[in-house]
């Protein structure tokens, strides 16, 4: 299926068309159709096991799909391509996970500057300067020389965000970036995400932080059992969820 559209003609950053995915006989994603416009912030929420991580991981092809298509800036992500092409594509999609996976033997600034040097071929001193600016942006300018093991979870996650931003991706994906953190560190990571959103970054975020969803998201996708049952602006979703399963999900959260 060729869903490619020339990049400059596609107003959507991400288009997900008729996507299905199964593990064996078990359908995890059922006919997903959704779009993320440039500059839009979308929050994906839904019960555990509903397919949120699987869906977000198909967007940079960490997961293959069984049917359908996904385009990123007009380019078909799931087309046949060489590993080098896929890596190039992936380097343009920032991904922040629950676990930060920083390199423990590299300093913070080295963690942030590594990919621009290795993948983009940036001169080390240029990459280093840019990394320092990004660390400043996430409030960690004073930790540049520290090692990940010397940082709190919230600080490590902010380094992970800076590391993803170092590749200058037009889109950032987040899969529960705060759920491994102690409660007092959640806010500092959400604030960094809020400032990214305010700067116009296109973001697709799986999170249980409904305050963030309410304040920052342009649109919420509610997913259950592999289907997007509702896609609505937050004020509509929280005030007046239409699908009974979305109503139950929100009622359970309030308890
Ligand atoms: N590699 C796999 N093999 C088989 N089944 C899998 C695999 N990965 C995920 N699943 C199943 O797919 C479904 C969706 O999983 P997924 O991790 O996407 O859910 P989720 O919405 O992210 O859940 P959570 O909120 O707990 O993170 C679950 O039923 C899960 O057990
Ligand atoms: Mg998940």
CA of 46 to the centre of ligand 1 (A): 12
Q: What pLDDT sits at residue 9?
A: 59
The C-alpha atoms of residue 139 and residue 30 are separated, in whole angstroms, by 40
Residue 21 has pLDDT above 50, yes or no: yes
Residue 8 pLDDT exceeds 60 = no
Distance (Å, rounded) from C-alpha 78 to C-alpha 58? 9
Q: From the CA of 176, how far away is ligand 2's center (Å)?
A: 7
Q: Is 209 helix (H, G, I), strand (E, B) or coil?
A: coil
What's the pLDDT tens digit per position in 218-233? 999 999 999 999 999 9
Supply the angle between the helices 153-165 and 108-118 in degrees, to the nearest 10. Answer: 20
Q: What is the pLDDT of residue 179?
A: 96
Average pLDDT over residues 144-165: 98
Say what the pLDDT of residue 2 is.
47
Ligand 1 neighbourhood includes 23 CB (under 6 angstroms): yes
How far is the centre of ligand 2, averaged over its atoms, from the C-alpha of 172 (Å)? 16
The per-residue pLDDT for range 177-203, each reduced to its tens digit, is: 999 999 999 999 999 999 999 999 999
Angle at the Cα of 43 from the Cα atoms of 173 and 66, rounded to 5 degrees:
65
Q: What share of the chain is helix, strand, coil (3-state, %, to 5)?
A: 40, 25, 35
Instruction: Identify the helix (H) or strand (E) that includes residue 162.
Output: helix 153-165
Task: Give pLDDT tens digits for 31-54.
Answer: 999 999 999 999 999 999 999 999
Nearest CA to ligand 1 atom 22: 53
What value does the mean pLDDT take over residues 83-112? 95
Q: CA–CA distance from 149 to each of 97, 161, 247 (Å)? A: 18, 17, 42
Q: Are 178 and 211 in contact (CB under 8 A)?
A: no
Instruction: Starting from the CA of residue 50, give the closest ligand.
Output: 1
Q: What is the pLDDT of residue 7?
A: 53
Query: Would the CB of 49 count as within 6 Å of ligand 1?
Result: yes
**CB-CB neighbours of 218 under 10 Å:** 15
From the CA of 24, give the closest atom in ligand 1: 4
Average the pLDDT over each of 15-24, 84-93, 234-243 and give the range with the smallest value: 84-93
Ligand 1 pocket check for 58: Cβ under 6 Å? no
The chain-wide mean pLDDT, for the chain, equals 95
CA distance 90 to 60: 6
| Residue 103 Cβ < 6 Å to ligand 1 | no
Q: Mean pLDDT check: name the lowest of 9-18, 149-158, 230-239.
A: 9-18
Tell whether ligand 1 has an atom less than 6 A from the beta carbon of residue 2: no
92 confidence band (pLDDT: 50, 70, 90):
very high
Q: What is the mean pLDDT of residues 7-15?
A: 77
Q: In ligand 1, which atom is closest to the CA atom of 208?
A: 25
Residue 116 has pLDDT above 50, yes or no: yes
* Residue ID of nearest Cα to ligand 1 atom 6: 23
Minimum-distance ligand 1 atom for the alpha carbon of 57: 18
Residue 187 has a pLDDT of 97
Is it the case that residue 29 has pLDDT exceeding 90?
yes
DSSP 98: S
Rounded to a whole number of angstroms, the CA Rg of the chain reads 18
Q: Does residue 211's CB lie within 6 angstroms of at least one atom of ligand 1?
A: no
Ligand 1: distance of its center to the CA of 50 in Å?
A: 7
User: Of 51, 46, 63, 58, which is closest to residue 15 (Cα–Cα)?
Assistant: 58
What span, in angstroms and rounded, lies between the C-alpha atoms of 90 and 78?
Answer: 12
Side-chain half-sphere CA neighbours of 136 within 13 A: 6
Sequence-distant (6+) residues with CB within 8 A of 76 are: 1, 2, 3, 4, 69, 70
């Amino acid at each position: 299926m060729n869903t490619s559209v020339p990049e400059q003609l596609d107003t959507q950053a991400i288009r997900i068309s008729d996507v299905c995915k199964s593990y064996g006989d078990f359908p995890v994603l059922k006919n997903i159709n959704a779009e993320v416009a440039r500059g839009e912030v979308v929050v994906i929420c839904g019960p555990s096991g509903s397919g949120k991580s699987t869906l977000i991981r198909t967007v940079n092809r960490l997961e293959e799909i069984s049917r359908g298509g996904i385009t990123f800036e007009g380019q078909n992500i799931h087309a046949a391509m060489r590993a080098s092409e896929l890596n190039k594509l992936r380097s343009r999609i920032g991904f922040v996970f629950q676990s930060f996976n920083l390199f423990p033997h590299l300093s913070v600034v080295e963690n942030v500057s590594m990919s621009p040097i290795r993948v983009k071929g940036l001169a080390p001193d240029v990459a280093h300067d840019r990394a320092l600016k990004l660390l400043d942006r996430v409030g960690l300018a004073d930790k540049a020389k520290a090692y990940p093991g010397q940082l709190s979870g919230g600080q490590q996650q902010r380094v992970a965000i800076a590391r993803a931003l170092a590749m200058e991706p037009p889109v950032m994906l987040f899969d529960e970036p705060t759920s491994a953190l102690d409660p007092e560190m959640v806010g500092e990571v959400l604030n960094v995400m809020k400032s990214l959103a305010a700067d116009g970054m296109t973001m697709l975020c799986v999170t249980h932080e409904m305050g963030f969803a309410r304040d920052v998201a342009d649109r919420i996708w509610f997913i259950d059992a592999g289907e997007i049952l509702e896609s609505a602006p937050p004020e509509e979703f929280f005030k007046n969820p239409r699908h009974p399963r979305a109503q139950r999900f929100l009622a359970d959260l309030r308890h």
